[in-house]
Structure 1
Amino acid sequence: MEERRGGGGEPRLVSDPVCGGDCTPVPPRRLKNRDFPLSVKRRRSGSAPEHKVHCVLVGDGAVGKTSLIVSYTTNGYPTEYVPTAFDNFTVMVVVDGKPVRLQLCDMAGQLERLRPLCYRSADVFLLCYSVVRPCSFHNITTKWLPEIRQHCPGTPLVLVGTQLDLREDVQVLIHLAQNQQRPVGTEEGRRLAQELGAVSFAECSALTQKNLKDTFDSAILASIQQTETNGVQQQQKLTLRKKTPDKIKSLSETWWRKINCLMGEQNCEFK
């Protein structure tokens, strides 16, 4: 259990992820909703209500989105690159003692028609680029942000630089130099996050798991904070609606008293 700070500065505790809610981490294997034991679902039916966070990972293909999810949910690392079309992963975490079901949607960077289907229910986005693929960093502003803002203009974003372990890899650096390129720097990513209005910025590695949990914690807390903010705003609207009729009635009485005064039908003494 680690302490994280929400948008208001208050510390919040986020547990390690547990696959399926009750099972322990396993070797690399994609756990989907259909893999959860029925007994687990029955046990949860009478338990405390859980908060759901739908997190969507977007970015160019081959930047390591699937690897992030597999490493985070199973403590394993995929040894082969297999292009993803559409995958859903679910883990359970505990935030401030309350259960949270984290649903992770892994979308292909190449399938433009399918992506909006996953966007509609998103609570938070992980906007991913590879620190050793400058073109993927460039595409954040030219492709991914406009697409997300078109479908989900108010959904919080977390900007994520992936494949951090390769930034100092000699072979990678040689390959980039041959193409007159260099890795994307941390400050470049931080500046872009500020320009995009992202709620958080992180660089992480699925292989070494450096900053991996912090990255997903940021997404979870951003979604929860957004939900809480929306709830407060909704409550304020309901309160305003309840008070509005009385206010209108009061204004109407004062208005009619003034009219009667002007018409000489009553004493014109107002407090």
Structure 2
Amino acid sequence: MGSKGTTVESFPSHSLELRGHTSPQLYKRTNSLLFPQEDYNQLRPLSYPNTDVFLICFSVVNPASYHNVQEEWVPELKDCMPHVPYVLIGTQIDLRDDPKTLARLLYMKEKPLTYEHGVKLAKAIGAQCYLECSALTQKGLKAVFDEAILTIFHPKKKKKHCSKCHSCCLII
């Protein structure tokens, strides 16, 4: 899963009160960002237990990351956590029209991935849905986390829920 020089980072936990159920309930959301570093292949699955939803991300300006979703990430998640739903996220959408990025892709005989590419992959891997966002511009970012929360409570596919509480949202 190849990129060298990356690290595993943890982000602060946040409490979230959801209304609309029979009674308000408080849930803890923990975000962990896991990078595809070969050094962590054995350790990465140790962070998966109690995960309620996975956000599988790829860069729309990095076709290799798109292919890694189907070749590496989904098989790992299906093997380790087969009953946990996932949402597919296309990131860096702000770079889709960036001249320097387009020139780099052209030099490598590649193109940015389209929204349609993401939808097609989401269907192929059985993702709950496909969303796009930009951390730089914040476009679509709130929708990503809203969808993660909705997926926990209303997954589109039946899943067996093994944990007794909702405690983790994992970003990979």
With the length of structure 1 as denominator, give the TM-score of the two structures: 0.52
SS at match of 2:112: coil
Question: Which segments of structure 1 move beyond 3 Å, counting only runs of 4 or more?
Answer: 59-62, 228-231
What CA deviation, in whole Å up to 9, does each residue of 1:140-178 have, x standing for no partner? 111111011000111101000011111110000000000
What are the within-5 Å matches in structure 2 for residues 183-262 of structure 1? 183-226=112-155
- Superposed CA deviations along residues 159-215 of structure 1, whole A, max 9, x for unmatched, are 000111111100000000000000011001001101111112100000111010100
Structure 1: gaps spanning 5 or more residues:
1-58, 63-81, 232-271
Which runs of no fewer than 5 residues in structure 2 stay unpaired? Answer: 162-172
**Contact 1:128–1:161 under 8 Å retained in 2:** yes
Q: 3-state SS of the aligned residue for 2:13?
A: strand
Aligned partner of 2:168 in structure 1 is none
Aligned to 2:95: 166
Whole-Å separation in 2 of the counterparts to 1:138 and 1:108: 15
Q: As a proportion of its length, which structure holds more helix?
A: 1
Aligned residues: CA RMSD? 2.3
Question: How far did 1:88 drift?
Answer: 4.2
In the other structure, the counterpart of 2:31 is 104
Structure 2 CA distance, aligned partners of 1:197 and 1:229? 13
- Say which structure, 1 or 2, has more relative contact order (CA 8 Å, 6+ apart): 2
Distance in 2, Cα, partners of 1:186 & 1:142: 20
Does the 8 Å contact 2:59/2:65 carry over to 1? yes
Equivalent residue letter for 1:102: R
The answer to whether the Cα contact below 8 Å between 1:60 and 1:136 also exists between their aligned partners in 2 is no
Q: Distance in 1 between matches of 2:103 and 2:75?
A: 33
Contact 2:96–2:102 (Cα < 8 Å) also in 1: yes
Superposed displacement of residue 225, structure 1: 2.5
Name the % identity.
38
Task: For residue 148 of structure 1, give the secondary structure of its aligned residue in structure 2.
Answer: helix
Larger Rg: 1
Residue 179 of structure 1: aligned partner = 108
- Output the CA distance in 2 between the equivalents of 1:183 and 1:168: 9
Q: Which amino acid aligns with 2:45?
A: P
Does residue 93 in structure 1 map to residue 16 in structure 2? yes
Q: Deviations over 1:120-146 (max 9, x none)?
A: 221110001000000000111111110
Q: What is the aligned residue count?
A: 153
Contact 1:83 1:108 in 2 (8 A): yes
1:95-114 Cα deviation digits (max 9, x unpaired): 22633321112112102121
Shift of 1:93: 2.8
- Work out whether residues 60 and 129 of structure 1, in 8 Å CA contact, stay in contact via their aligned partners in 2: no
CA offsets per residue over residues 210-260 of structure 1, 9 Å max, x none?
01010011111111235x9758xxxxxxxxxxxxxxxxxxxxxxxxxxxxx
